[in-house]
Amino acid sequence: MQVLDGKKTSEDIKKEIAIEVQQMKENGEKVPHLAAVIVGNDGASLTYVGSKVRSCQQIGFDSTLVSLPETITEDELLAKIKELNEDDNLDGFIVQLPLPKHINEEKILLAIDPDKDVDGFHPTNFGKMALDMETFIPATPFGIMQLLKRYNVDTVGKHTVVIGRSHIVGRPMSILMSRKGNPGDSTVTLTHSRTKNIEEFTKNADIIITALGVPNYLKADMVKDGVVVIDVGITRVADASHPKGYVITGDVDFDGVSKKSSFITPVPGGVGPMTIAMLLQNTLLARKMRMK
Ligand code: GUN
């Protein structure tokens, strides 16, 4: 069994990007600039966004944090997005999800200029991804593809079972794994909350990608020997013995499943850190596209 170390791999990618940024500086070029919009005070979202902005600073990007109150109206947020779209100094920006209930998420995502949509959530970019055109790949699926690639995990002709059909992870993952190439060229089954007898699929899977948000859902008796397991779950589970009062728990019962796996991602330290690295990679791409 080999652990797919997302912490180390993400650091490698960040170092590669930092070298490119240094080169840009030496050439007198403008460095990439990412903005992150956060609405409200959700603890997990604040942590993620803080981490994204810190990573920008670490590798030499310019960054802007736009913190907006929970009470902001949809129109006010749309006005802010228009401003960011038109800001020539900015290469890309993200609006951290989820948004408060009174704001229509779809309307917000549609308002983002696809050329600055480094999350890859706009239908234009999602469509390009499905059609193998160059675009921003959503950060979490992009990070998983990079982990598979950098650890030389063979996906060609394998049966990949994705659990969860979210627009951010499961759905794009199912598309990427079925695209031509390695990683890719998999036969994909996309399972979800209405799938009957999920174990029948997971037991026959060569590769399982879980993005469910149910702690320790995938157990050893649900997988076959030699399986590759990618755990996208990041649920905060209360734990009084921990200084923060919680532990981050994945969808996979790691102790049991790892004994049967050929490759497996840990939580934390697997997919999570990769997500940020790939957001930075997309921002670098945005800068390069704007230079052209
Ligand atoms: N919320 C959870 N994951 C993401 C992400 O990748 N991007 C944004 N904008 N919000 C998220």
pLDDT in tens, 87-137: 999 999 999 999 999 999 999 999 999 999 999 999 999 999 999 999 999
Alpha carbon separation from 229 to 1, 3, 162, 202, 271 (Å, rounded): 11, 10, 10, 10, 11
What band does 275 get if pLDDT is binned at 50, 70 and 90?
A: very high
Statement to judge: residues 83 and 178 lie in one domain: no
The contacts of residue 181 (CB under 8 Å, 6+ apart) are: none
**Atom 1 of ligand 1, residue of closest alpha carbon:** 97
What band does 215 get if pLDDT is binned at 50, 70 and 90?
A: very high
Q: Residue 254 and residue 265: Cα distance in Å, rounded?
A: 9
Residue 128 in any domain: the answer is no
Statement to judge: residues 38 and 90 lie in one domain: yes
Residue 206 in any domain: the answer is yes
253 has catalytic annotation: no
96 has catalytic annotation: yes
Q: What is the pLDDT of residues 86-98, one digit of tens each?
A: 999 999 999 999 9
**Atom 9 of ligand 1, residue of closest alpha carbon:** 96
Q: pTM of the predicted model, to two decimals?
A: 0.97
- What total of structural domains would you count in the chain? 2
Q: Residue 275 and residue 273: Cα distance in Å, rounded?
A: 5
Contact 166, 213 (CB under 8 A): no
Statement to judge: residues 165 and 107 lie in one domain: no
Statement to judge: residues 259 and 197 lie in one domain: yes
Peptide bond into 32 cis (omega under 30): no
Structural domain range at position 92: 27-113
Residue from 34, 96, 235, 275 to probe ligand 1 pocket by mutation (most atoms less than 8 Å from CB):
96
119 has catalytic annotation: yes
Predicted pLDDT at 173: 98
Mean pLDDT, all residues of the chain:
98
Statement to judge: residues 194 and 229 lie in one domain: yes
- Which residues participate in the annotated binding site for NADP(+)? 164-166, 234
